[in-house]
Amino acid sequence: MNISAVIIAKDEEKNIKECLESLTWVSEIVLVDSGSKDGTCRIADKYKCRIIETDDDNFSHKRNIGAKEARGEWILYIDVDERVTPLLRKEILSVVGDRSRALSRYSAWAIPRRNFILGKELKHGGWWPDYVKRLFLKRNLESWSGELHEEPHFDGNMGHLKNPLIHLKHDNLEEMVDKTNNWSEIEAKLMFEAGHPPMNILRFMTAMFREAWLRMVKHAAFLDGSVGIIYALYQVYSRFISYAKLWEMQVNKKIING
């Protein structure tokens, strides 16, 4: 086997079929499932995926499980809301099959993403080219770490592919807000455990200003029209919620400790 695709999923029946359709060319598909209650596994079974069940909610751990189970020489990590285009497929097969000295020095590849948010492709606001580290020579991939933003550890050099993944990031605002509530809890906990300085008015204001400046001014989110502005403001809101939850944890600790 040459390429193993690894997918992490939980209750993703609305997304997984199109994702799997874009991966029919790989040698095998390993689905790491976290207890789906819908038709995710039933659909995956139709595509002859090897389904690995786990109750671990840590994304780094699940990526490590996928790497351990993969039988291919190369591992391609794909999220259920991503699609591999024909051009990207051709490029991946090219770099994986090329044994020239120029490419053999790369044991990992980053892939750009075209992000579609609320039905529109965002090209500003920091959303392009949005490189993600996803293709690895298995023997050189050591592990993934990080509870919120997973980071791979590997031996060797990283190259950058030219053709992008399609990333269907958010369907609606309700889904976005629900995700923020879940992820902000983890982010706040990590900051709290790292001993973040006590939150106050100045720290709240500077954090919100930095995020707004990054999205609206530096990366010109407004050039993507109303969706670009909405999503930039949503990023400011998400940052605020994370810091507000951090503040709450710090206050509760202070009360408990007297």
As a whole number, mean pLDDT of residues 231-253 equals 96
> Going by DSSP bridges, is the β-strand pair 3-9/28-33 parallel, antiparallel, or unpaired?
parallel
- Rounded CA-CA distance 153/155 in Å is 7
What are 24-35's pLDDT values in tens digits?
A: 999 999 999 999
- Rounded CA-CA distance 134/152 in Å is 9
What kind of fold does domain 3-169 have according to CATH?
Spore Coat Polysaccharide Biosynthesis Protein SpsA; Chain A (3.90.550)
As a whole number, mean pLDDT of residues 211-230 equals 97
Q: What are phi and psi of 114, to 5 degrees?
A: -95, 110
As a whole number, mean pLDDT of residues 59-76 equals 96
Confirm if 113 and 133 have CB atoms less than 8 A apart.
Answer: no
Confirm if 83 and 22 have CB atoms less than 8 A apart.
Answer: yes
Q: Give me the residue spans of the domains in the chain.
A: 3-169, 172-257
Confirm if 215 and 126 have CB atoms less than 8 A apart.
Answer: yes
Instruction: State the chain's mean pLDDT as an integer.
Output: 94
Long-range Cβ contact pairs of 143-150 (< 8 A, separation 24 or more): 143/60, 143/64, 143/67, 144/59, 144/60, 144/61, 144/63, 144/64, 144/67, 145/60, 146/60, 147/58, 147/59, 147/60, 147/186, 147/190, 148/183, 148/186, 148/187, 148/190, 150/59, 150/60, 150/63
Q: Write down the pLDDT at residue 101.
A: 64
Q: Is the pLDDT of residue 104 over 80?
A: no
What are 168-207's pLDDT values in tens digits?
A: 988 889 989 988 998 999 999 999 999 999 999 999 999 9
- Rounded CA-CA distance 172/37 in Å is 22
Quick one: tokens of 50?
């090897």
Q: Write down the pLDDT at residue 1.
A: 64
Q: Write down the pLDDT at residue 57.
A: 86
Q: Is the pLDDT of residue 167 over 90?
A: yes
Confirm if 111 and 134 have CB atoms less than 8 A apart.
Answer: yes
Q: Write down the pLDDT at residue 258.
A: 67
Residue 119 burial (CB < 10 Å; 0-12/13-18/19+)? exposed
